[in-house]
Amino acid sequence: MPEGHTVHRLAGALTELFSGLRPKITSPQGRFAQGAAKLDGQVALPAEAWGKHFFMPFAPEPMTVELGEDGPDWLHVHLGLYGSWSFDGDTEFIAEDTIGAPRRKIGEQEKLAEGDDERVMTDWEPPIPRDTVRIRLAQEHGIADLTGPNQCRVLDGSGVRTVLNRLGPDPLRNYPGDRERFISLVRKRRVPVGQLVLDQAVTAGPGNIYRADCLFRVGINPLRPGNRVSEARLGLLWDDLVSAMNEGKRDGIILTNPPEYVPEDPADEDDRRFAVYHRTGRACWRCGTKIVESDMAGRRLFWCPGCQR
């Protein structure tokens, strides 16, 4: 499942590519036909993300709105495990600060779509959509196709607020008071802190990689109950989530292995990119103990039993 930084990057990309325009909106698959018809022809306004949830408002005319405000029709997307956005277009269809060149697929990972190359597209034409495309946004210079989402629907402002009210603070938003709210939400629970970091009602956005490596970076054992982790250590965990996820949002890739631990000649990408994630049985960078793996609430959990307390 894409982690929160990816959804924030998608919001930036779709804003750059469609905001202020009246995109042609269709549902080649047919499952979103009614919603597509409602949005088609309206002005796309700047998209936003909260955790792993994507929201893009549409209105009859350009306007400035806050997330969850009444008035616009809100496209709400949650990618889930298998959802992804694919982009295709000519040389003017570029989101400079987010996805770069066109013909890019963003879901669990960011990558060029199959069959893509570096050619300059001078006579671009929209590709025929696959029958799995839930929604297509099209403008003169390019298209964005959504496939396989867990949720794709149109909400009013009240519906958006209902979703937001179920979510915890987002480290990529990091509003005043979010750090304290995160600490309070964790310390109220006897559930293992490793499980709480993935609870989107506690903190919205982190996935398995950030969970594993940020807990390692601040030295917290993921099995420790939330109410037995000090406020000071939880504050450090929040700060590290904010830092690590902002780096992922900026770079478009998760690199959570601290620079001082990156080997000169890494055995593979896992050794280069991660601290404990996917490093089962390998030596801890910090203390040399073997990294262990177990199951926690149906998700793979990685940690060092030697130095995470």
Q: Which of 3, 103, 179, 206 is catalytic?
A: 3
Is 16 an annotated catalytic residue?
no
Distance CA 122, CA 110 (A): 24
- The phi, psi pair for 64, rounded to 5°, reads -105, 125
Is 24 an annotated catalytic residue?
no
Query: Which pairs with CB-CB distance under 8 Å and at least 24 residues apart come from 29-34?
Result: 29/131, 29/132, 29/133, 29/134, 31/134, 31/152, 32/134, 32/135, 32/152, 32/153
Distance CA 185, CA 203 (A): 9
Write a three-state SS string for 226-280: HHHCCHHHHHHHHHHHHHHHHHHHHHCCCCCCCHHHCCCCCCCHHHHHCCCCCCC
Beta bridge partners of 295: 300
| 276, 284 contact by CB (below 8 A) | yes
Helices 4-18 and 231-251: crossing angle, nearest 10°?
40
* Cα–Cα distance list, 181 to 167, 201, 301 (Å): 12, 11, 25
Q: Which of 187, 225, 299, 305 is catalytic?
A: 299
* Cα–Cα distance list, 63 to 46, 55, 71, 75, 139 (Å): 10, 16, 10, 16, 20
Is 173 an annotated catalytic residue?
no
Q: Which of 9, 23, 48, 52 is catalytic?
A: 52
Distance CA 76, CA 132 (A): 18
| 286, 307 contact by CB (below 8 A) | yes
Is 28 an annotated catalytic residue?
no
Q: What is the DSSP letter of 15?
A: H
Distance CA 190, CA 187 (A): 8
> What are the residue numbers of the active site?
2-3, 52, 299
